[in-house]
Chain A
Amino acid sequence: MKILMKSVDMIFSSSKDGIITPLRFRLSEDGEESRIVKIDRIIDRKEEKLAGNPMLVFTLQSTIDGVERIFEMKYEVNSFKWYLYKM
């Protein structure tokens, strides 16, 4: 997996217990039309607090171009931003 750290638009759900679940995001690659990627499976979720900055790190699985891919996304709690971290 390569580090991309690309900010993306995300639709996610937040349960009444405060559990955040990413659902689908918009991936726009340079020069290409953006497309929607649906999250098929959450493989792992963990919290990190590097530099005192809390982030939720998800290991996810989606089907992109007919290929099942595993990648990592980060949710930065302070800025409410989602990033495609590694793919």
Chain B
Amino acid sequence: MSSYGSGERTILHVDVNSAFLSWEAAYRLQHGASLDLREIPSVVGGDRESRRGIVLAKSIPAKKFGIKTGEVLWQARSKCPNLVVVPPDYSLYLQCSNALMELLSQYTPLLERYSVDECFLDITHSLRGRSPLTIAREISQRIKNELGFTVNIGISNNKLLAKMASELEKPDKIHTMFPSEIPEKMWPLQVNELFMVGRRTAAKLNMLNIFTIGQLANASPKFLTAHFKSYGKLLNQFAWGIDDSPVNPYASEAKGIGNSTTTPFDVDNEREALLYLLSLVETASSRLRRANLMAGVVSVSIRKTDLSFSSHQRRLPVPTDNTESLFKAASALFKELWDGSPLRHLGVAFSSLCSDGFYQISLFDEGRILKNKNLDASIDAIRTHFGSTALIRGSFVNSGIPPLTGGVMDGFPVMAKPALKGGYR
């Protein structure tokens, strides 16, 4: 059943404007910076020392120089020589994201963190006689005053339309996109602006002479199904703003937690490769624990010096968040995957995540579950309090390999997930 036209629900989509950059700017201002990063051409970009860093977020003045998210740093610098580049600080972003969630949770318990900087609120039953716009204005104002950054808020009857609304003009704006406004506000947009339409789908649609969302809405569903199978039907529904997925506060925020690194030198022996793997597992597993999650599947990926890429994954007998067990699984996978040729990139990812609320005891447990859990908790606590390198493994001493590597996203995907939660069939 679709909620289209029923007007029963009231959904807000809150999206932080240039999230990483705004958060960095707010933090710096709090610490006495005289310059607001948002007002100058600036970007948050990968590792300063690495030539391979990319733009993760940009300020609006940087956008005016044609700098794009995902662009390589040197390219961005060539467009704007005075560009200010700040390194990313993922724990700060998680802190900001958590503070945002805490503020929003004062408005409704039906709150779904969709990514680190986006979430949906179902305020249908929390209006208390106020209009959605009044609530949105209050939220936006409070975030600005209390947390020091701006958001876009989209208001509608379902998640899809609320998200489409918040993507309209930025920053610091509130937009509505009720079903009656679709022809006027959504249909003139380019088809690639539609949720779930990526670059390749957009190109394919353009080949079929479909350039705007309106054209997609008015294309025959049969025609779309012929070209895109069931996805075609879904695209057509989206173009009409049809979506009945619920705001699910219990949706696991992260689909996977991963970590990867490009090594400064080519890795050609197993010891070094495993040390790199261990340092990746160290950070990824501590993020897993911080998000109160356990991993059911471990995967390892490698890129050789000829840039060929391969990966290998396995389901664990029981989900775990223990560094040692995860490393054991990862190193077994690595040994099966690697043929001995030099490597320039290694990655570890944990998926099939579940809550760490309970632990399924298995016959094959190593009998030290609680001890390992306490050990991990102590290590995490020491590192949080005294710095990530306060406690490192002996095997890293004099190895030239950082004891902890990576840091991308503490449990929450940087980019929005490919599908709205709730499932479409």
**Chain A interface (Cβ within 8 Å of chain B)?**
3-5, 48-53, 55, 83, 85
Contact = CB atoms under 8 A, between A and B. Distances in A.
B31 interface: yes
B382 to A, nearest CB: 16
Nearest to B27: A51
Interface string B17-43: 000000100110111101000000000
A85 B33 CA distance: 11
Interface of B: 23, 26-27, 29-32, 34, 92, 95-100, 146-149
B32 A50 contact: no
Given A49-B146, A50-B27, A3 B34 contact: yes
Contact of B99 (A3, A4, A52, A83): A52
A86 to B, nearest CB: 8
B409 to A, nearest CB: 16
CB-CB nearest 5 A-B residue pairs? A5-B32, A52-B99, A50-B148, A51-B27, A51-B26
Contact of A52 (B29, B32, B34, B147): B147
A85 B32 contact: yes
A2 B167 CA distance: 39
Contacts of A52: 23, 92, 95-100, 147
Given A51-B95, A52-B98, 17 more contacts: A3-B32, A49-B99, A50-B26, A50-B27, A50-B30, A50-B147, A50-B148, A51-B23, A51-B96, A51-B99, A51-B147, A51-B148, A51-B149, A52-B92, A52-B99, A53-B30, A53-B95
A85 B32 CA distance: 7
B90 to A, nearest CB: 13
B23 to A, nearest CB: 6
A45 to B, nearest CB: 17
Contacts of B30: 48, 50-51, 53, 55
A83 B23 CA distance: 21
Contacts of B31: 5, 83
A83 B32 contact: yes
A50 B32 CA distance: 12
11 contacts: A4-B32, A5-B32, A50-B29, A50-B148, A51-B26, A52-B97, A52-B147, A53-B27, A53-B92, A83-B32, A85-B32
